[in-house]
């Protein structure tokens, strides 16, 4: 039974929301970040990069306190305002490829995360969890929702559609040509209906934002232990999420690039591959795989198709059937000697929207020796892996939609 409740969001004013909204801080290069801050005084980047004001890099707890100061200044200047009553927010994103995502921004339960009602499919790094937990405790807010997905529900969909018949409170387009829309769902009857419909859902899955949800859970545990009057309805019991139906979720693949052949010649490498794969040379024309357990490979100016010899591989779990895991277990680890996918600097990842031509360019440049393309995972696979209590290798999925920071803010 999922607990998904309305909350009072802090939001920018309608006139400047497009100027405030930003991509996640880490997704910008230093030059991109500074350019946006040079020419846009409203950017949320000014809050999360407070050292810009003093022309220096500030880290650790000192930075966290300055983040809070900048946030409070934005509120004092009327750039941000808090809604007067708890509501749900219907939210739509339409990207440049005309893909449309419709869902609800709401507060989701840290206890649901603890009790596996909210399930994960990726491992998190304990150090990063702790860092972000400390950040949340100091700054007192979270400005980017976790992306969650739930089974399609006609009643929830109908309430979202009803909200979208009204004039949107926000409608703006980012430089990446994603258009964002927000509507309040403030009708009391609809609010109660949404609560009850989410309560009927046994499991919700994290699509993107594993570290944010894990850190929010750590914050909940800390605050609960330190509050002798804990009741369970305090703001720290929840974290902000964008919930979309499974049919709206888009999963793209991350392709792999490797810098060397682990001391093997091209011929030795191909012979080792032949033990597990039927190999076909496809020539110089870019070639992409068409089905699961089928990879493309670019090596020495030529594309190859690799078809798994299934008789030689035993599928025991949902994770075994995941192509990212299969590539790791049959090629990356045993042949190319890559044990640690997260930290080995010999491997890099490119998400699927760059396509095979980018892999070709990266290998042709000499920076990499070989590249592998694969089919994307499915929502069904993601759910099965989570249900079995397993986790995907890093960079197994590139999830859409991609969210923006600073549009709705959850205060602790």
> What is the per-residue pLDDT across 126-145, written as a single tens digit (0 to 9) for each?
899 999 999 999 999 999 99
Q: What is the rounded CA–CA span in Å between residue 101 and residue 246?
A: 10
pLDDT higher for 182 or 352?
Answer: 182
Lowest mean pLDDT: which of 20-29, 186-195, 239-248?
Answer: 20-29
What share of the chain in percent tops pLDDT 90? 85
How many domains does the chain contain in total? 2
Average confidence (pLDDT) over 87-107: 96
pLDDT of residue 314: 85
Q: What is the rounded CA–CA span in Å between residue 361 and residue 368?
A: 9
Nearest to residue 291, comparing CAs of 378, 354, 395, 349? 378
Q: What is the rounded CA–CA span in Å between residue 147 and residue 403?
A: 8
pLDDT of residue 10: 98
**Do residues 407 and 273 share a domain?**
no
For 10-52, the pLDDT digits (tens) are: 999 999 999 999 998 888 888 888 899 999 999 999 999 888 8
pLDDT of residue 357: 87
Q: What is the rounded CA–CA span in Å between residue 334 and residue 59?
A: 40
Q: Is the pLDDT of residue 60 over 90?
A: no
Those residues whose C-beta lies under 8 Å from the C-beta of residue 137, and which sit 6 or more positions away, are 219, 222, 412
Q: Are 104 and 199 in contact (CB under 8 A)?
A: no
pLDDT of residue 97: 87
**Do residues 392 and 297 share a domain?**
yes
Those residues whose C-beta lies under 8 Å from the C-beta of residue 355, and which sit 6 or more positions away, are 286, 288
**Do residues 239 and 290 share a domain?**
no
In SS3 terms, 134-165 reads as HHHHHHCEECCCEEEEECCCHHHHHHHHHHCC
**Do residues 102 and 124 share a domain?**
yes
Nearest to residue 381, comparing CAs of 336, 337, 319, 339? 319
Those residues whose C-beta lies under 8 Å from the C-beta of residue 412, and which sit 6 or more positions away, are 136, 137, 140, 141, 142, 219, 223, 235, 236
**Do residues 287 and 186 share a domain?**
no
pLDDT of residue 353: 61
Lowest mean pLDDT: which of 55-59, 72-76, 357-361, 363-367?
Answer: 55-59
Q: Is the pLDDT of residue 354 over 70?
A: no
Average confidence (pLDDT) over 388-392: 94
pLDDT of residue 365: 96
**Do residues 353 and 406 share a domain?**
no
* Average pLDDT in the chain: 94
**Do residues 240 and 259 share a domain?**
no
User: Hey, is 345 helix, strand or coil?
Assistant: coil
Q: What is the rounded CA–CA span in Å between residue 305 and residue 298?
A: 9
pLDDT of residue 344: 92
**Do residues 197 and 285 share a domain?**
no
Confidence of residue 75 (pLDDT cuts 50, 70, 90): very high
**Do residues 233 and 152 share a domain?**
yes
Average confidence (pLDDT) over 146-161: 98
* Residue where the block lists tokens 């049959």: 330
For 264-318, the pLDDT digits (tens) are: 999 999 999 999 999 999 999 889 998 999 999 999 999 999 999 988 788 999 9
Give residue 282's domain range. 254-396
CATH number for the domain harbouring residue 320: 3.30.1760
Cβ neighbours around 26 below 10 Å, total: 7
**Do residues 91 and 50 share a domain?**
yes
**Do residues 223 and 299 share a domain?**
no
| pTM for the whole structure | 0.92
Distance of CA 162 to the CA centre of its chain: 28
**Do residues 192 and 49 share a domain?**
yes
């Amino acid at each position: 039974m999922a607990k998904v409740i309305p909350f009072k969001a802090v939001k920018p004013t309608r006139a400047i929301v497009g100027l405030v909204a930003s991509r996640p801080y880490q997704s910008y290069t230093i030059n991109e970040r500074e350019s946006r801050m040079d020419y846009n005084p409203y950017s949320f980047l000014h809050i999360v990069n407070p050292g810009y004001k003093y022309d220096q890099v500030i880290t650790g707890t000192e930075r966290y306190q300055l983040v809070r100061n900048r946030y409070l200044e934005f509120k004092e200047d009327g750039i941000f305002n808090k809604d007067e009553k708890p509501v749900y927010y219907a939210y739509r994103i339409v990207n440049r490829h005309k893909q449309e995502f419709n869902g609800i921004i709401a507060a989701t339960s840290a206890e649901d995360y603890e009790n596996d009602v909210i399930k994960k499919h990726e491992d998190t790094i304990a150090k990063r969890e702790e860092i972000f937990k400390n950040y949340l405790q100091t700054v007192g807010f979270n400005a980017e929702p976790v992306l969650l997905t739930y089974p399609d529900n006609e009643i929830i969909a109908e309430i979202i559609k009803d909200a979208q018949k009204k004039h949107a409170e926000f409608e703006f387009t980012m430089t990446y040509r994603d258009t964002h829309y927000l509507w309040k769902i403030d009708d009391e009857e609809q609010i109660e209906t949404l609560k009850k419909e989410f309560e009927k859902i046994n499991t919700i899955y994290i699509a993107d934002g594993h570290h944010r949800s894990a850190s929010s859970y750590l914050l909940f545990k800390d605050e609960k232990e330190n509050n002798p009057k804990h009741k369970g309805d305090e703001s720290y019991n929840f974290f902000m999420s964008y919930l979309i139906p499974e049919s709206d979720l888009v999963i793209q693949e991350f392709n792999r690039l490797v810098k060397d052949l682990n001391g093997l010649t091209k011929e030795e490498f191909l012979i080792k591959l032949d033990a597990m794969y039927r190999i076909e040379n496809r020539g110089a024309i870019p070639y992409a795989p068409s089905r699961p357990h089928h990879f493309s490979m670019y090596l020495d100016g030529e594309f190859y198709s690799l078809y798994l010899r299934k008789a030689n591989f035993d599928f025991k779990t949902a994770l075994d059937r995941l192509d990212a895991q299969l590539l790791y277990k049959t090629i990356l680890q045993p042949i190319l000697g890559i044990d640690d996918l997260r930290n080995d600097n010999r491997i890099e990842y490119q998400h699927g929207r760059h396509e095979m031509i980018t892999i070709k360019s990266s290998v042709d440049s000499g920076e990499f020796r070989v590249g592998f393309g694969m089919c994307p995972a499915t929502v069904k696979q993601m759910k099965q892996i989570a249900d079995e209590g397993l986790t995907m290798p890093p960079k197994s999925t590139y999830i859409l939609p991609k969210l923006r920071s600073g549009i709705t803010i959850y205060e602790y």
